[in-house]
Structure 1
Amino acid sequence: MYPHSFLKSFQYAWNGFTVAVKEERNLRFHLVAGFFVLWFSRFYHFSRGIYAILALAIGGVIALELVNSSIERAVARPGPERFFITGVVKDMAAAAVLLYSIGAAVAGIILFWQPDVLYTILNYYISSPLRIVLLFTLVIAGCSFIFRKEEPPFEDR
């Protein structure tokens, strides 16, 4: 493999990611959720190991969502003889994302459910109107990003 083709593979991966962000609402949801996990993690005294776990959980969910989206596109228009198996394949890929997401959410609850820290976060935001506006703006921006009008899938353009 030549260095040029090696570097080109990163460009192809980035292109795939940007197309997925534009066209896949569930991926945008996971990106926003990951952002808020990291945003609120600053209130905790997490070790580097815990941040590694968070990175793996967030990255794993996003990676699986990309794989799921890829599988859905690869089998999007099956012939009549492949229709049933295509549905099962898509369902199994979606199940992989769901199960990993549930595992990541459980890990998040275990890590973040510290009532004293949650109380500190609440006080931090309600003690300043500017902070409330910032948080509200982030939530609105996140929702707008998630539910924005999707571009038609690449193969339909």
Structure 2
Amino acid sequence: MKGLLKSFVYAGSGIITCIRQERNMRVHLVCMIYMYSYLLIYDFFEVSRTQFAIIFIANAIVVMGELFNTAIEAVVDMAEEKFSEKYNRLAKISKDTAAGAVLVGAIFAVCTGIAILAQPDAFRAMFAYYAEKPYMIAVLIASLVLSFTFIFTGFNFKKKDK
């Protein structure tokens, strides 16, 4: 049982490391938070359980892709330090291919979102909501400022050693 708990702790540590180190992972997370907020909290969109599951799977593919990409980049960087310059071409192929996999997953997620969430009535309801409650525009703007701060700094304001 102790080993199982440790494996979850290690997995969580890997996820947190990816969030801290990878700006694109933070971009994906912020987009997901806004999307799930509009789906679950505000309830503007009509989405079936099946559609919700498809969206969730698409998001999981993107997050998994970022995690795999980060792991591959770390291993390649470690190998590059150990081996000669001769391996640089192979390292580039590894990193570019892993990044390409993330891009394919992200495009899939965006297309899935468009296919399911292209609901003009939902967007009209959203705009009406903000028109009726203008103070919520300030809340939205504040959340966007926090989101951009998170994306571009990871809330890590310490100077990085180089």
Do both proteins adopt the same fold according to a TM-score greater than 0.5, normalized to the shorter chain? yes
Structure 1 residue runs of 5 or longer lacking an equivalent are none
**Cα distance between partner residues in 2 of 1:137 and 1:49:** 33
Q: Is residue 72–residue 90 contact of structure 1 (8 Å, CA) maintained in 2?
A: yes
**Cα distance between partner residues in 2 of 1:38 and 1:12:** 27
Matched, 1:43 2:44: yes
User: Alpha-carbon deviations, 1:132-153, whole Å to 9, x = none?
Assistant: 1111122111111101166789
The letter for the 2-side match of 1:121 is: M
Instruction: Specify which of 120, 127, 134 is matched with residue 122 of structure 1.
Output: 127
Structure 1 SS opposite 2:153? coil
Note closer, same or farther for the CA distance 1:135–1:119 as it changes in structure 2 (3 Å cut). same
Instruction: Specify which of 109, 115, 131 is matched with residue 114 of structure 2.
Output: 109
> Which residues in structure 2 correspond to 1:8-157 (within 5 Å)?
8-41=6-39, 42-77=43-78, 78=80, 79-148=84-153
**Cα distance between partner residues in 2 of 1:100 and 1:50:** 17
Q: Percent identity?
A: 33
**Cα distance between partner residues in 2 of 1:106 and 1:85:** 31
Q: Is residue 68–residue 97 contact of structure 1 (8 Å, CA) maintained in 2?
A: yes
Structure 2 residue runs of 5 or longer lacking an equivalent are none
The letter for the 2-side match of 1:69 is: T
TM-score for both structures, normalised by structure 2: 0.87
Aligned length: 153
- Shift of residue 126, structure 1, vs aligned partner: 2.3
Structure 2 SS opposite 1:15? helix
CA RMSD of superposed structures (Å): 1.9
Q: Is residue 23–residue 152 contact of structure 1 (8 Å, CA) maintained in 2?
A: no
User: Alpha-carbon deviations, 1:69-124, whole Å to 9, x = none?
Assistant: 11111101513121101100110000000011001101111111111211111111
